[in-house]
Chain A
Amino acid sequence: ETGVTQTPRHLVMGMTNKKSLKCEQHLGHNAMYWYKQSAKKPLELMFVYSLEERVENNSVPSRFSPECPNSSHLFLHLHTLQPEDSALYLCASSPRLAPGGEQFFGPGTRLTVL
C-alpha cells in the first residue's frame, strides 16, 4: 500500500534531540491526522488538519509541534521528548473532515526516546 507513506519508519532519539516525522498522502485527501499508539492503550488522536488548517489539538504537550505545509504533507516536529513519549506514531488521511468516513493509515514511525 502506498497511499499514505511515513518516514522514518524507526527513530531512536535522546531527550535533548530535535527530530521530525514526515507523512505524505497520495490520495488527494483534504484531512490529515496524527495519532499516538502506545502499548495497552487505545489509539490517541493528537492533531487534525483540514485543508492545511489545524482543527483539533487534543491537549498534546508543546514538545510535539505539527506542521501542514499543504494538503499532501504533514510533519510532526519533536523536541525535548520524554521516555514515555516512546510509541508508534501513525499518520492518517481522509477525503474530507466529516463525521464518520474511512481513514487511511500510514505504516507508522516507531519512536524510541532514550
Chain B
Amino acid sequence: GQQVMQIPQYQHVQEGEDFTTYCNSSTTLSNIQWYKQRPGGHPVFLIQLVKSGEVKKQKRLTFQFGEAKKNSSLHITATQTTDVGTYFCATGTASKLTFGTGTRLQVTL
C-alpha cells in the first residue's frame, strides 16, 4: 500500500519563528490531506490538495503539493503557542486514508 514519510518527527521553536513539515512518498499521490491533533485531542482536518503544484493558504498556514505529486509541505509563518500539536499528512485511496508518522510541534515563549 501507499506509504508517506514525514520529517521532522519533532520540532521545538520559539514563538514567532517559522515552522515547516514535509511529507514524502515514493509513489505518485492522487491527493494529500493535512490534519492537526492538539495534545490530548483528536485529528482535525485542515485542508486537501489534489492538483500538481497546488498552493493553498489559511491565514499563517501555507500548504503545497509538489509538481510530481510525490511530496507536500505545510509551512507556518510566525508560530504562536496555539499552533502546538502534531501535524499529520494523509493520502486517500478508494476506501482508506493512509497517515504519515506526524510532526510534533512545540512552541515556547
Contact = CB atoms under 8 A, between A and B. Distances in A.
Nearest to A110: B40
Interface string A35-61: 000000111010010100001101000
A42 B101 contact: yes
A31 to B, nearest CB: 8
A100 B42 contact: no
B96 A100 contact: no
A99 B48 contact: no
Q: Is chain B's binding surface mostly helix, strand, loop or mixed?
A: loop
B42 A45 contact: no
Interface in A91-109: 97-108
Contact of A97 (B33, B44, B95, B102): B95
A97 B99 contact: no
A101 B42 CA distance: 17
A108 B48 contact: no
Q: How large is the interface on A (under 10, 10 to 19, 20 to 34, 35 or more residues)?
A: 20 to 34
Interface centre among A42, A45, A56, A103 (most CB of B within 10 A): A42
Contacts of B95: 48, 50, 55-56, 97
A49 B71 CA distance: 29
Contacts of B26: none
Contact of A43 (B30, B41, B43, B50): B43
Contacts of B94: 97-99
A74 interface: no
A43 B92 contact: no
Interface of A: 33, 41-43, 45, 48, 50, 55-56, 58, 90, 97-108
A-B pairs with lowest CB-CB distance, top 3: A100-B31, A43-B99, A105-B42
Given A42-B102, A102-B33, 13 more contacts: A42-B99, A42-B101, A43-B43, A43-B88, A43-B99, A50-B95, A56-B95, A98-B94, A99-B31, A99-B92, A100-B92, A101-B92, A105-B44
